[in-house]
């Protein structure tokens, strides 16, 4: 199906999908979860083709990790759909009601956005997550994955569409743009006549391309240059454990720690503790002059940082290390180089913790916890559509309510404006 026809089909289906009852949507989501597992062999076989192609192209290890599916990850995708089915339906929620002096009753109610386009890279799990969240919030979804995951995406969407068809849900509810050329992607970004919102999920290049080329409103979901600041009042063992988790649990995710900032008062003791822990994972430490001196210039996996390192999302076993002399300097450094995603402070000082929470400009700011918790499921939202690093209209992990708008419904008894 050509692109414009596919977008028009979604546009025409949006009213029907937007008025589906909660029970109908939940039944379709549960059947979609079962359909994923029923088609496990086809989906994993398709994913193997994508993995082989990625390895042949020399895809980075972090990206291959994002691309890979297995039984556990597919089961997790199915469970994500079941969790979405169990969540409260935001559509129709009454946000406010006022009665004007002239007797008009004005109600503000939550409604679907309409048609949402998602452009994403080698993350086949996004296919199911995006569908589930968009659908539960009463929206039609048009998905545009990258060439790296095209076989996986086709197989997943086919399984989901089968479930929708069995529930007599309109065909335009879920669509996949199968063309992988850039021209089609750019054309999709300009389908404002049919598409109400565009959400890019991927690296900085993809997000920048969408923001610069789209005529459709865009929510930026961010690259993650996430920081952990080790304060002078930190429990150093706690800090090591938090950074170990935030850096090494999964390197290819946007909420992984990429940069650490350390107060000079604890730098000697802490950096030696950290080096001993991260050496096991062969994490490369790119430090400023003071950090390199503390680590030892001849130490394995220690290199001087460049200016570029402070703002990098590595998606690899690499950390930048900056030493500062005050909390204020730490906050200034983080606000200069972060991507407004997730940043953390490790401290036992409540005043410093609150100052960090108040002044660091990020969607998620932590005290004494790993940045890896920046996730819709961990926040209790079910699967997420992405993590917004902007401030309009959604910020942070985007669950169901972030995929809705609202309308005013005005009830009168014949009033006219004087």
**pLDDT digits over 255-274, tens only?**
999 999 999 999 999 999 99
Shortest CA distance to 25 belongs to which of 139, 175, 196, 143?
A: 139
> What does R_g of the chain's alpha carbons equal in angstroms?
23
Checking if the pLDDT of 382 tops 70, the result is no
pLDDT tens for 153-206 read 999 999 999 999 999 999 999 999 999 888 999 999 999 999 999 999 887 888
Q: What whole-number percentage of the chain has pLDDT above 90? A: 87
Count Cβ neighbours within 10 Å for each residue of 51-83 and write b for 16 or more, e otherwise: bebbeeeebeebbbebbbbeeeebebbbbbbbb
Give the pLDDT of residue 305: 97
Checking if the pLDDT of 122 tops 90, the result is no
Strand ranges inside 50-171, DSSP E: 94-99, 105-112, 115-120, 140-144
Collapsing DSSP states into helix, strand and coil, what is residue 302? strand
| Mean pLDDT lowest among 2-16, 100-114, 344-358, 378-392 | 378-392
Chain center to CA of 344: 18
Give the pLDDT of residue 40: 98
Shortest CA distance to 228 belongs to which of 251, 204, 244?
A: 244
Collapsing DSSP states into helix, strand and coil, what is residue 107? strand
| Mean pLDDT lowest among 12-21, 332-341, 374-383, 399-408 | 374-383
Q: What whole-number percentage of the chain has pLDDT above 70? A: 100
Mean pLDDT of 365-372: 98
């Amino acid at each position: 199906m050509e692109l414009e026809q596919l977008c028009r089909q979604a546009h025409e289906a949006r009213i029907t999908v937007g008025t589906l009852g909660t029970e109908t949507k939940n039944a379709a989501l549960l059947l979609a979860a079962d359909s994923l597992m029923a088609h496990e062999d086809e989906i994993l076989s398709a994913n193997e083709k994508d993995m082989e192609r990625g390895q042949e192209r020399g895809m980075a290890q972090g990206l291959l990790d994002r691309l890979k599916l297995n039984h556990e990850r597919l089961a997790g995708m199915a469970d994500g759909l079941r969790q979405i089915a169990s969540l409260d339906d935001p559509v129709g929620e009454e946000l406010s009601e006022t009665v004007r002096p002239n007797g008009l009753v004005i109600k503000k109610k939550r409604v679907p956005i309409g048609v949402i386009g998602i452009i994403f890279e080698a993350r086949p799990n996004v296919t199911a997550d995006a569908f589930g969240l968009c659908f539960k919030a009463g929206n039609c979804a048009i998905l545009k994955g990258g060439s790296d995951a095209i076989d996986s995406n086709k197989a997943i969407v086919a399984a989901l569409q089968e479930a929708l068809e069995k529930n007599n849900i309109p065909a335009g509810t879920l669509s996949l743009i199968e063309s992988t050329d850039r021209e089609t992607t750019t054309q999709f970004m300009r389908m404002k006549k049919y598409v109400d919102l565009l959400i890019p999920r991927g690296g900085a290049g993809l997000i920048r391309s969408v923001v610069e080329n789209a005529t459709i409103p865009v929510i930026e979901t961010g690259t993650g240059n996430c920081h952990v600041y080790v304060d002078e009042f930190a429990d150093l063992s706690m800090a090591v454990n938090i950074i170990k988790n935030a850096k090494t649990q999964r390197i290819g995710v946007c909420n992984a720690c990429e940069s650490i900032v350390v107060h000079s008062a604890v730098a000697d003791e802490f950096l030696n503790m950290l080096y001993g822990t991260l050496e096991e994972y062969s994490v490369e430490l790119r430090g400023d002059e003071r950090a390199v001196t503390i680590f030892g210039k001849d130490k394995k996996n220690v290199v001087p940082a460049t200016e570029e390192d402070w703002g990098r999302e590595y998606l690899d076993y690499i950390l930048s290390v900056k030493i500062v002399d005050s909390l204020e300097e730490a906050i200034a450094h983080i606000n200069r180089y972060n991507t407004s995603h997730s940043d953390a402070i490790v401290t036992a000082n409540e005043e410093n913790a609150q100052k960090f929470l108040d002044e660091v400009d990020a969607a998620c700011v932590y005290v004494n916890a790993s940045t890896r918790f920046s996730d819709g499921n961990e926040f209790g939202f079910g699967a997420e559509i992405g993590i917004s690093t902007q401030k309009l209209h959604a910020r942070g992990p985007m669950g169901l309510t972030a995929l809705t708008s609202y309308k005013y419904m005005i009830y009168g008894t014949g009033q006219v404006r004087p």
